[in-house]
Structure 1
C-alpha cells in the first residue's frame, strides 16, 4: 500500500532533497509569520478599548515596571492596563494556544480529524465542577479550582473504566467511555441549573457555560500557567513521537516505541491543557477542532512543526475573537458564541471542499 503524505512526514521521508527543503522553509516561514502576527495582535489589543491607551504610554508603563521613568499616564490608565487588559490578553493567548495544542494532539493520538479537546469529557467535567461551585456560592478563584479538579477527575474516571474494559480496540473504547461520562456530567449540569436560584445562580452558571474572559485577573493567569506549561512542555517534547501514533500501534512498535504508554502520556498532557483552559475561561468550543486543520493546510501533517504552529495560530485566533467580543457591542458577547459562529461554518467548508477533492 502506498504511503500517505502524513506517513512520509512521520518518517522524515520525501521524494527528493529539494522537496524536503521547500517544505521545511515553508513551515519555518509560516511559524515565524504566526509568531510575528501574535506579537502585533497582542500589542494592538493592549491599546484597544473604550478607554484607549497611546502606544507610547503602553511601552512606558511596561518599562516603568523594570526601570522607573517619567510618568505620562494616570493612575486610572495604569490600573486599566495592568489589572484588566494585560491579564485578559495573556489569558486569551494561553487558552487559545492550549486548546489548539490539545486538539492537535488528540487528533493525532486517535487518528481522527474530528476529535476535539473535550473528547475525554474534560470540558463537561469542568462545567459540572463550576456549576457545583457556583451553587455553593464560591468565589471566582474557587470556581476555577473546582472546575479544574472536576475536569481531571472526570478524565481519570474515563481512563480507569477504559483500562478495565475488555476490548480489542483501546482507542475506540476510550472515546466511547468519554462520550458516556460526558453525558453523565452534562446531566449533572442540567440538574444544577434546575435547582439553582433563578435570580443569581442560574444566570452565573449559564454565563460560565457560554465561555468568557470577562473579569480575568492575574491570579487566573498564574493559576492556569502551571498546568498549561507542564502540558505544553510534554507535548512539545513528544511531538515527533506523535507522528508515530498517526501511523498506528504496529508501526510505532516497529520503531521501538510503546504506543500505549506514549498515548497515555499525550492524553494526560492534553487533558492538563484542556482542564486548565476551561477552568479559567468556561466552555469555548471549536478552537481545538478548527485551528489544527488550518495549521495542516499551511504546513502539513508533521507534528514537529504542526504543534508549534497550531499553538501560535490558536493564540492569535482567540485574541482576535476576544477583541471582537469586548468591542463589537455595548454589552460583551461571550466568546463561546463567537467561536461557534466562526468555527462551525468554516468546518463545514472544510468538509465540503475535501469531499469534492476526494
Structure 2
C-alpha cells in the first residue's frame, strides 16, 4: 500500500541482544539475505485532525488495543515533549505501526517499534518542518523508552537497531556505544520457535549475584572477543562466545535449545546462543551453504508453532532506514 503524501516511512531491523558474550553491553543488527523485512515499519503522516495511531501487520493483534498503552504512542508523547523543550511547534500526525516482529521473541521487538517511531518522527520533522534532533539525542530517547518498557536502561537492542552493525555499550552518556569491526563473511541464522518469553520473566530467573569465577570468565571472554574483533581474528573471537551470565539459567525456559545448541556446534557452527532474552536462537557460520543447512535443520527441529520462522541473515550495517 503506497504511503500517503506528506509522509515518511522508516524500517528498524531486528537485533541480537547480548551476543552471548556481552550481557546488556553488546548488540548486533541483522537482516535476512532474501530481502525479508525482519523488523518494524512506522509511517508518520501529516493530518488535519488530532494525532492518531493505527496498528497493522502480522503481529498487530499481540499489542494493546488502547493507543495509550502502545509504546509507539508513548514515543510520540516523548518526542513532542522534546520539541516543546526546544521551542519547536508540535504538529498533529497520523502514525501507522506495521508490526512485523513477534512480541517477546528476543529479537528486539520493542526496540524495533521504538527506533522506527522516533526515527520516523525525526525524519518527518526534518523533511516537512525543517527541524531535527541529532542522532545522539534520538538514541537517548530510544534508551529512555526501553527503560520505561523493561524497567532498566540498556541500549543493547536500540543502539544496533538505530545505528546498525555490532555495537558495544560504554559507560559514558556522551558516547553511549562504539561500533566494533564485524566479520563480513559471517551468516547469522535466526530461529524463532513461535513461543513467547517475556523479558521480565527471563530476567527474574537470573541470580542476584555471581561467583568470582563467573565474573572473571565473563570479563575475560568479553575483553578477548572485543580485542579479536579489532584484530579481525575470527577463530579467537568465536572461541570465547560463551554466555556465563544468562544462558545457564534461561535455557530451561527454551524447549529444545540445549539439543539444538549441541547439534549445531557438533556440525561446525562457529557459535550458538540465545538472542536477547529468548526464545530465538542464533547460530553463526562463515559458510552460506552451511548456514542454509542449519536453517533447514532448525526449521524441522526447533520451531514449535506455526508462528515460528527461520531466517539466514547478515549483519545490518545501516540500522534504521527510510523506505
TM-score normalised by length of structure 1 = 0.23
Which is higher, the Rg of structure 1 or of structure 2?
1
Q: Hey, which of these two has a bigger chunk of strand by percent?
A: 2
TM-score normalised by length of structure 2 = 0.25
Q: Hey, which of these two has a bigger chunk of helix by percent?
A: 1
